[in-house]
Amino acid sequence: MITPQWLENAVFYNIYPQSFYDSNGDGIGDLNGITEKLNYIKDMGFTAIWLNPIYESPYRDGGYDVTDFYKVGKRYGTNADFERLCAVAHQKGIKVCVDLVAGHTSLECEWFQKSCRAEKNEYTNRYVWTDNWLNIYNGECIGGYAQRNGAYMKNFFYCQPALNYGFANIDEPSWQLPPEHPDCRKTKQELINIMEYWISLGADGFRVDLAASLIKNDYDGKAIIKFWQEIRTMFDEKYPECVLISEWSHPSRAITAGFHIDFLIHAVFPAYTSLFRAEDERNVPRIFFGDSFFDTRGKGNIETFLNDYLDEYEKTRDRGFISIPTGNHDLARISYGRTNEELEAIFAFIMTMPGIPFVYYGDEIGMEYIPDMPSKEGGFTRTGSRTPMQWEQGKNAGFSDGEKELLYLPVNENGVNVKEQLSDENSLLNKVKKLIALRKTTPALSACGDIEFLNRKDGGYPLVYKRIFNDETYLICINPSNDDKKFEMELYADMIMKNGNVEISERGIVLGAVSYAILKLK
């Protein structure tokens, strides 16, 4: 397998396109707006961006309900705008990855409309349909929508009918097809065509939505692993510089399947939630972070994270990367209930871990989560994490020239903003920028350096770990709690970066409330 070199130093910026920057005053962020802000992205040190869906859509799930996979949604601009975005980004050394909603389409998609017809046609098996209108297959299928005598399977919301990539285990043979069935192969071929199309316009890779969901009844994941392996082989042969990023949250499977990067988020393991987000599994945000490790009460336990993480890391480290993102469009913002000092400590962690960091737009300024925002486009509790980027004080926080009523979502005009933070040396933004720069210039801190956790007693406070590459060793010490924490070890080191009260001596380190230190061992 081939790993593109650029990944080893990559730091991604995740952009929700409708909320980033509106270039034409219609109140909705667009591709030209992103192009205009590439200098900011470059200046921060980001080397790549992941764009949430930019396709034509009725937006019943924020664009994760695609009508035309070959067309940029009107509100975002044109395919030519996308090509220009990629071209300008590439000139600046920034890679552009797009979202690939592989598992489903919108109801309006022409394929689905044809698939609904009673008479057989090319698209009859493009989606998963049961054999009669009464069979809703344990409630997973929606009846009563189509003219044909069957119910369609949904992949997420009712308005996201599942594309048919087949069933790994067949329990109702009258309608379930195996993955090798020619019609299922055709669905897969279409997915490949879509990928090749966006690559031809300049895309450098894909973040694959619900990557594990495509093949049904695949209990051990074997069929879906094989499915993606074929695509990775094609990438290695034809597009060795392009990357596959999965929303799978099971790195040992995803990376075996051929993904270059898998996100550690909430789906499978408690690893991520136990770090920052001890919220319930339905992702309902809470004001208290329960027993998260990164919490000032210091009641978490790093073992919950390490139990999952170390195992997955060992299984995948030579083949791909685990990403611990700051957040995304599905989670309450990491700033929720936290101070800037707490956020800085989290960034110090994320920017010194192996794998590849992803920063959700606005997290670098500690942008606020808005808890009670009415749901927009199927966002529900996620809506409060999708508000427009806050560029400066004043009209629409610099997001748009348009009238307030036109804005995609209300913008916080008096909140934190980029302009103020740029001019304040001690702002979160400037600290994040320094951490990114440090990571990129220090092989031991970047994607591939080794890691060793030193303090695993008493919940693991303070967090102490080594990062090692060749003959360089760094020590990262983080105290997210409100109490002083100390760690005893023989310590000869130079201080590289810190925040809060930190004292080092030859006998160890003492970390005051919410502090961290990055040290280079002598």
Binding site for ligand GLC (CB under 6 A): 61, 64, 101, 156, 209-210, 247, 329-330
Q: Which residues have C-beta within 8 Å of that of residue 75, sequence separation ≥ 6?
A: 18, 26, 28, 30
Residue 329 contacts residue 384 (beta carbons within 8 Å): no
Closest CB 346 distance from ligand GLC, rounded Å: 21
Closest CB 64 distance from ligand GLC, rounded Å: 3
Rg (CA), the chain: 23
From residue 38, how far is each of 30, 90, 362 by CA, in Å?
Answer: 13, 10, 15
Closest CB 212 distance from ligand GLC, rounded Å: 11
Give the CB-nearest residue to Ca ion: 30
Closest CB 494 distance from ligand GLC, rounded Å: 41
| Closer residue to ligand GLC (CB): 105 or 296 | 105
Give the CB-nearest residue to ligand GLC: 64
Parallel/antiparallel/unpaired status of strands 450-453 and 502-505:
unpaired
Q: Which does 61 bind (CB under 5 to 8 A by kind): Ca ion, ligand GLC, none?
A: ligand GLC
Among candidates 155, 222, 164, 212, which has minimal Cα distance to 189? 164
* Chain length of the chain: 522
| Closer residue to ligand GLC (CB): 59 or 239 | 59
| Closer residue to ligand GLC (CB): 64 or 294 | 64
Residue 401 touches Ca ion, criterion: CB under 5 A: no
DSSP sequence for 116-137: TSSS--TTTTTB-B-SSTT--T
| Closer residue to Ca ion (CB): 24 or 193 | 24
Q: Which of 2, 5, 24, 91 binds Ca ion (CB under 5 A)?
A: 24
Instruction: Count the neighbouring beta carbons within 10 Å of the beta carbon of residue 68.
Output: 16
- Identify the residue whose tokens are 């000092």: 341
| Closer residue to ligand GLC (CB): 329 or 439 | 329
Residue 356 contacts residue 261 (beta carbons within 8 Å): yes
| Closer residue to Ca ion (CB): 40 or 133 | 40
Residue 193 touches Ca ion, criterion: CB under 5 A: no
Helix (H, G, I), strand (E, B) or coil at 469: strand
| Closer residue to ligand GLC (CB): 218 or 247 | 247
Query: For residues 79 and 63, what is the distance between their CA atoms, to the nearest angstrom?
Result: 16
CA angle centred on 245, ends 244 and 248, rounded to 5°: 125
| Closer residue to Ca ion (CB): 403 or 450 | 403
Q: 169: phi > 0 → left, psi -120 to 50 → alpha, else beta; which?
A: beta
Tokens of 108: 């309006």
Closest CB 386 distance from ligand GLC, rounded Å: 10
Site string for Ca ion, 238-277 (x = CB under 5 A): ----------------------------------------
Residue 22 touches Ca ion, criterion: CB under 5 A: yes
Residue 81 touches Ca ion, criterion: CB under 5 A: no
> What are the φ and ψ backbone dihedral angles of 281, each rounded to 5 degrees?
-65, -25
Closest CB 9 distance from ligand GLC, rounded Å: 26
Beta bridge partners of 511: 485, 502
Q: Which of 7, 15, 28, 86 binds Ca ion (CB under 5 A)?
A: 28
Q: Which does 28 bind (CB under 5 to 8 A by kind): ligand GLC, Ca ion, none?
A: Ca ion
Q: Which does 30 bind (CB under 5 to 8 A by kind): ligand GLC, Ca ion, none?
A: Ca ion
Tokens of 448: 């591939």
Closest CB 373 distance from ligand GLC, rounded Å: 16
Query: For residues 328 and 306, what is the distance between their CA atoms, to the nearest angstrom?
Result: 22
Q: Which does 225 bind (CB under 5 to 8 A by kind): Ca ion, ligand GLC, none?
A: none
E-assigned strands of 125-228? 141-142, 152-153, 205-208
Residue 26 touches Ca ion, criterion: CB under 5 A: yes
Residue 145 contacts residue 152 (beta carbons within 8 Å): yes
Q: Which stretch binds Ca ion (CB under 5 A): 23-31, 145-153, 313-321, 438-446?
A: 23-31
Closest CB 157 distance from ligand GLC, rounded Å: 7
Closest CB 211 distance from Ca ion, rounded Å: 30
| Closer residue to Ca ion (CB): 71 or 226 | 71
Give 309's Cβ-side CA count (13 Å radius): 24
Closest CB 508 distance from ligand GLC, rounded Å: 42
29-48 positions binding Ca ion, by CB under 5 A: 30
Helix (H, G, I), strand (E, B) or coil at 193: helix
Tokens of 284: 């309902």
Q: Which does 364 bind (CB under 5 to 8 A by kind): Ca ion, ligand GLC, none?
A: none
| Closer residue to ligand GLC (CB): 105 or 335 | 105
Query: For residues 326 and 363, what is the distance between their CA atoms, to the nearest angstrom?
Result: 7
Give 199's Cβ-side CA count (13 Å radius): 17
| Closer residue to Ca ion (CB): 22 or 363 | 22
Q: Residue 495 corresponds to which amino acid?
A: M
Closest CB 162 distance from ligand GLC, rounded Å: 11
Point out which residues bind Ca ion (CB under 5 A). 22, 24, 26, 28, 30
